[in-house]
């Protein structure tokens, strides 16, 4: 059994769906589990729908129509016969979505944005997989559509649900021995069978969960890049593909912010030494990148990770006492309540420096929580640069003509906050 994951960019329109059919035609004798995200930018569209519902009801109809129109355009292209069952299946999901909007209102879910989010966001995945499974069957590639909410069981930590591995493995092992199974990424369900989500970009993690529980031969993530590159070409035009890397290196890069592989994806695969391939859906004959136990190749290329729109905050006590354990405990409690993920930490006797995404609402909540006891100074719109396997020449080149606010170095990694 192999697990394939296709993200939104690989299913952004009708031609992209046809391309998936071409890729899968090369694996006609394989047993496959196909994990698919919402189509194109539909995750963003659903977030707009949810924000409209909770905060701007006058925009709700427009945001819902955008979702309907997007899927209808793809349906009309792929299924000219309007009597095809896929139309009624998609309409059923749209009806369920509208019903959920009404239920959320009746139960005042708007008081719990995260709960509302999870009750609505996953319909993009449910519709994309329905379209793809029907298209494959029409094309002679027989597939079975499976609702992943019956397989991946979680707790009720909405928007960041934790996997119940024992319950999930039991459910996943009940999968019938079909040749091709099409299912959803990003979502699961809690003990009350309410839909939950695994975090933004969680479809990679879904593929890893299924791969782990099925003892898969391999997991492949199909992307719009040739494989894992040593930098984002937007920032570093000389970016080079990394052919092989270890689980450890992939974990390090994803932890520091590399976006090709979701951070949660690696560990389940490492635990069973299941190789992870990152390949291009634009050139599916290419070798891509393989992530495995091997470590020989890890330090051959420096890797560069850029994270923009960061805020650097320097915190000190109002009475100029030391930043000791009790103060740090309070500060990190406030960060947790605001749901701010810290990307870099550095402390001295009298101050604590933190770098995180400049999310206006969350940052305001955090500052409000600490204002009675602490002073906070900050720099906005800074960039966090991480260099793995650096040299001084590389650092000089990457930070040239930049203002450096903070730097950290370990044996293998150098990090800079700069502008």
According to the model, what pLDDT value does residue 8 have?
Answer: 93
Return the pLDDT at 103. 67
Which pLDDT tens digit goes with each residue over 278-318? 999 999 888 999 999 987 878 788 999 999 999 999 999 99
User: Is the model more confident about 334 or about 235?
Assistant: 334
Task: Output the pLDDT for position 177.
Answer: 76
Q: What integer best gives the mean pLDDT of the chain?
A: 93
Secondary structure string (H, E, C) spanning the chain:
CEEEEECHHHHCCHHHHHHHHHHHHHHCCCCEEEEECCCCCHHHHHHHHHHHHHHCHHHHHHHHHHHHHHHHHHHHHHCCCCCCHHHHHHHHHHHHHHHHHHHHHHCCHHHCHHHHHHHHCCHHHHHHHHHHHHHHHHCCCCCEECCHHHCCEECCCCCCCCECHHHHHHHHCCCCCCCEEEEECCEEECCCCCEEECCCCCHHHHHHHHHHHHCCCEEEEEECCCCEECCCCCCCCCCCEECEEEHHHHHHHHHCCCCCCCHHHHHHHHHCCCCEEEEECCCCCCCCEEEECCCCCCCCCCEEEEEEEEEEEEEEECCCCCCCHHHHHHHHHHHHHHCCCEEEEEECCCCEEEEEECCHHHHHHHHHHHCCCEEEEEEEEEEEEEEECCCHHHHHHHHCCCCEEEEEECCCEEEEEEC
The structural architecture, per CATH, of the domain 303-418 is 2-Layer Sandwich (3.30)
Mean per-residue pLDDT, 335-348: 94
Per-residue pLDDT for 227 more than 80?
yes
Provide mean pLDDT across the span 49-73: 92
What pLDDT band is residue 393 in, cutting at 50, 70 and 90? very high
User: Which residue has better confidence, 208 or 234?
Assistant: 208
Work out the pLDDT band at 108, boundaries 50, 70, 90. Answer: low
> According to the model, what pLDDT value does residue 19 have?
97
Instruction: Name the percent of the chain lying above pLDDT 70.
Output: 98
Four-way CATH pick for 2-216: 3.30.110.40, 3.40.950.10, 3.90.1300.10, 3.40.1160.10:
3.40.1160.10
Q: What's the average model confidence in pLDDT over 140-168?
A: 96
Question: Is residue 348 scored above 60 in pLDDT?
Answer: yes
- Give yes or no for residue 146 having a pLDDT over 80: yes
**Which residue ranges make up each domain of the chain?**
2-216, 303-418
**If you average pLDDT over residues 226-244, what whole number do you get?**
91
């Amino acid at each position: 059994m192999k697990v394939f994951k296709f993200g939104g960019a690989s299913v952004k329109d009708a031609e992209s769906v046809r391309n998936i059919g071409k890729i899968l035609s090369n694996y006609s004798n394989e047993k496959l589990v196909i994990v698919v995200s919402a189509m194109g930018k539909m995750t963003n569209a659903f977030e707009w729908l949810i924000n409209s519902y909770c905060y701007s009801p006058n925009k709700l109809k427009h945001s819902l129509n955008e979702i309907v129109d997007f899927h209808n355009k793809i349906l009309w292209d792929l299924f000219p016969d309007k009597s095809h069952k896929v139309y009624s299946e998609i309409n059923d999901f749209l009806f369920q979505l509208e019903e959920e909007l009404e239920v959320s209102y009746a139960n005042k879910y708007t008081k719990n944005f995260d709960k509302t989010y999870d009750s609505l966001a996953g319909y993009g995945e449910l519709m994309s997989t329905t379209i793809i499974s029907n298209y494959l069957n029409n094309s002679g590639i027989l597939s079975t559509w499976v609702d992943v909410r019956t397989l991946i069981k979680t707790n009720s930590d909405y928007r960041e649900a934790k996997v119940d591995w024992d319950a999930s493995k039991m459910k996943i092992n009940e999968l019938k021995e079909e040749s091709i199974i099409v299912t959803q990424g990003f979502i699961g369900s809690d003990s009350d069978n309410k839909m939950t989500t695994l975090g933004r970009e969680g479809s990679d993690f879904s593929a890893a969960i299924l791969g782990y529980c099925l003892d898969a031969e391999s997991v492949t993530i199909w992307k719009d890049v040739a494989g894992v590159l040593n930098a984002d070409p937007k920032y570093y035009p000389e970016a080079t593909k990394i052919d092989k890397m270890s689980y450890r290196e992939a974990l390090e890069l994803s932890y520091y912010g590399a976006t090709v592989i979701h951070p949660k994806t690696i560990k389940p695969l490492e635990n069973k030494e299941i190789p992870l391939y990152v390949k291009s859906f634009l050139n599916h004959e290419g070798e891509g990148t393989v992530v495995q136990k091997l470590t020989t190749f890890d330090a051959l290329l420096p890797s560069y990770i850029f994270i923009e729109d960061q805020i650097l905050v320097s915190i000190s006590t109002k009475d100029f006492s030391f930043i000791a354990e009790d103060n740090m405990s309070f500060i990190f409690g406030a960060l947790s309540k605001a749901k701010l993920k810290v990307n870099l930490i550095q402390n001295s006797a009298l101050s604590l420096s933190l770098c995180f995404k400049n999310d206006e609402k969350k940052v305001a909540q955090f500052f409000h929580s600490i204002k009675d006891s602490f002073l906070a100074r900050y720099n906005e719109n800074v960039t966090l640069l991480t260099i793995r396997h650096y040299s001084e020449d590389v650092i000089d080149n990457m930070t040239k003509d930049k203002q450096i606010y903070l730097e950290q170095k370990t044996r293998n990694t150098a990090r800079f906050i700069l502008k």
